[in-house]
């Protein structure tokens, strides 16, 4: 029997920037619905407390709604907010973050830095099916074929089209699992990850990409091997020269990353810093470049190696790179001289032991960078001996539901800690 479409009014935004309404006492989450809209939707999933719906019709349209410029919007699963102007998107992201911070008692002003909206991504991962390249819809197995992506750099879009033609000409559709394209200006690195062993002549594609670009390939999910052209891309950020290959970690939005790191750097206090979850070490290097001792802690082996290279390539004697789990290393590296701790964990946030150890320390300042405000605020709640000084969002991922957040905290004075205890 065909299910009847449901109706609701959107009165809030959920964690993924989806519209939130209520039906029969249940919360319903509706991607692409905007606050103030009256909508009709189909139920995709229903539990005793919530409904995940699929937007069917907007009966009363928000004045903020605009036509999305991308023909794949709502289909490919990548973007969440192409249906509003950037200014409104920033307002929505701020409102959602404010809700999370309110839960931990912070009601102060939240800043926001936003510098671009489209053509910003310096990296894209595409999947392949019999029709060519596409994106995986919401991490499902379903591939939505695309010929361009409006949030990827213009150069990446050009290379997508070269690769589509190349895949078709060489009949690689059934053999290719995925393709990664990474750009730095005109130069690109392309990685073909094949499902099986194949012998491919990449010469023609390499000529199209140009001398500063390179091609990698891999089979069965093993490590990428260099095929032709450049092995790395390089650039200089804040006086630090970085070189990276197709697998190295790098933030996807260069302009916003530079602003974020510049601001983080300006918040560092004292001369002895720990950068926990330091990745490929760019932030550690930027701090050390200022003549401040900075110890990075990173679990990933290749990221640690990248950080070690960053240190030697830039002759950074004040940069130290520790390889291992923050849980084990941070308690050993933290001393009475540590003046600032920078935390930049992945989405799952920090281990509670780490937050507790920092809370007991005498470290003057904590700078916490995260791309996941819910886990960030969960962790910050454990820093009861610290007071939030500032919260600022960086729209690193415009048009999508994601945002980066920089929080600065200072150790409470002995007097205010005593008052807290009473
Ligand atoms: C968001 S990235 C940091 C990016 C870094 N700021 C950069 O510019 O390269 C988070 C990093 O934390 C690392 N990581 C995750 N769990 C960890 C742990 N328990 N201890 C140390 N590092 C960890 C990941 O390997 C990843 O490189």
Question: What separation in Å is there between the alpha carbon of 278 and the centre of ligand 1?
Answer: 5
Instruction: Convert the pLDDT of each residue in 351-364 to its tens digit.
Output: 999 999 999 999 99
Q: Is the CB of 282 under 6 A from ligand 1?
A: yes
139: confidence class by pLDDT, cuts 50, 70, 90: low
CA 288, CA 182: separation in Å to the nearest integer? 27
| 140 pLDDT above the threshold of 90 | no
Q: Is the CB of 298 under 6 A from ligand 1?
A: yes
Q: Is the CB of 238 under 6 A from ligand 1?
A: no
The minimum-distance atom of ligand 1 relative to the CA of 345 is 10
CA 219, CA 196: separation in Å to the nearest integer? 6
Percent of the chain with pLDDT over 70: 98
Which residue has the CA at smallest separation from atom 26 of ligand 1? 279
Joined tokens for residue 404: 């980066």
Given this model, what pLDDT does residue 248 score?
Answer: 85
Contacts for 185 with CB less than 8 Å, ≥ 6 apart: 155
135: confidence class by pLDDT, cuts 50, 70, 90: very high
Report pTM: 0.94
Given this model, what pLDDT does residue 247 score?
Answer: 85
Question: How far, CA to CA in Å, does 104 sit from each of 90, 98, 347, 377, 383?
Answer: 22, 10, 19, 7, 11
Which domains can be identified in the chain, with CATH numbers?
Answer: 6-65 (2.40.50.140), 94-116+249-421 (3.40.50.150), 123-234 (2.40.50.1070)
Q: Is the CB of 283 under 6 A from ligand 1?
A: yes
| 298 pLDDT above the threshold of 80 | yes
Between 377 and 413, where is the model more confident?
377
Instruction: Convert the pLDDT of each residue in 13-37 to its tens digit.
Output: 999 999 999 998 999 999 999 999 9
| 4 pLDDT above the threshold of 80 | no
166: confidence class by pLDDT, cuts 50, 70, 90: very high
């Amino acid at each position: 029997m065909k299910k009847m479409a449901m109706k609701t009014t959107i009165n809030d935004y959920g964690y993924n920037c989806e519209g939130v309404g209520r039906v029969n006492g249940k919360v319903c989450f509706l991607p692409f619905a905007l606050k103030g809209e009256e909508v009709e939707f189909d139920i995709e999933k229903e539990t005793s407390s919530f409904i995940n719906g699929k937007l069917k019709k907007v009966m009363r349209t928000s004045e903020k709604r605009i036509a999305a410029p991308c023909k794949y919007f709502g289909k490919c699963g990548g973007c969440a907010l192409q249906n509003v102007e950037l200014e409104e998107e920033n307002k929505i992201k701020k409102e959602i973050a404010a809700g999370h911070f309110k839960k931990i008692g912070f009601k102060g002003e939240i800043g926001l830095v936003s510098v671009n909206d489209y053509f910003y991504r310096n990296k894209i991962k595409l999947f392949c099916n019999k029709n060519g390249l596409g994106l995986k819809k919401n991490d499902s197995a379903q591939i939505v074929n695309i010929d361009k992506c409006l949030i990827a750099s213009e150069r990446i879009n050009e290379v997508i089209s070269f690769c589509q033609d190349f895949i078709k000409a060489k009949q690689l559709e059934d053999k290719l699992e995925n393709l990664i394209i990474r750009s730095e200006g005109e130069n690109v690195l392309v990685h073909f990850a094949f499902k099986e062993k194949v012998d491919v002549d990449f010469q023609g594609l390499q000529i199209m990409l140009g001398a500063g670009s390179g091609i990698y390939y891999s089979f069965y999910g093993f490590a990428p091997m260099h095929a032709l052209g450049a092995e790395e891309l390089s650039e200089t950020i804040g006086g630090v020269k970085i070189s990276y290959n197709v697998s190295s970690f790098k933030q996807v939005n260069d302009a916003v990353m530079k602003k974020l790191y510049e601001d983080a750097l300006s918040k560092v206090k004292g001369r002895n810093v720990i950068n926990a979850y330091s990745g490929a070490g760019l932030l550690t290097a930027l701090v050390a470049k200022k003549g401040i001792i900075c110890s990075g802690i990173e679990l990933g082996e290749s990221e640690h190696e990248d950080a070690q290279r960053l240190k030697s390539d830039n002759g950074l004697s004040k940069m130290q790179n520790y390889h291992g789990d923050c849980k084990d290393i941070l308690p050993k590296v933290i001393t009475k001289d540590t003046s600032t701790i920078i935390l930049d964990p992945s989405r799952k946030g920090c281990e509670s032991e780490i937050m507790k150890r920092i809370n007991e320390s005498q470290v003057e300042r904590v700078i916490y960078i995260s791309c996941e405000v819910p886990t960030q605020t969960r962790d910050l709640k454990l820093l009861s001996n610290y007071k939030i000084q500032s919260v600022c969002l960086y729209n690193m991922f415009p048009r999508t539901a994601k945002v980066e957040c920089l929080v600065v905290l200072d150790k409470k004075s002995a007097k205010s800690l005593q008052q807290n205890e009473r």
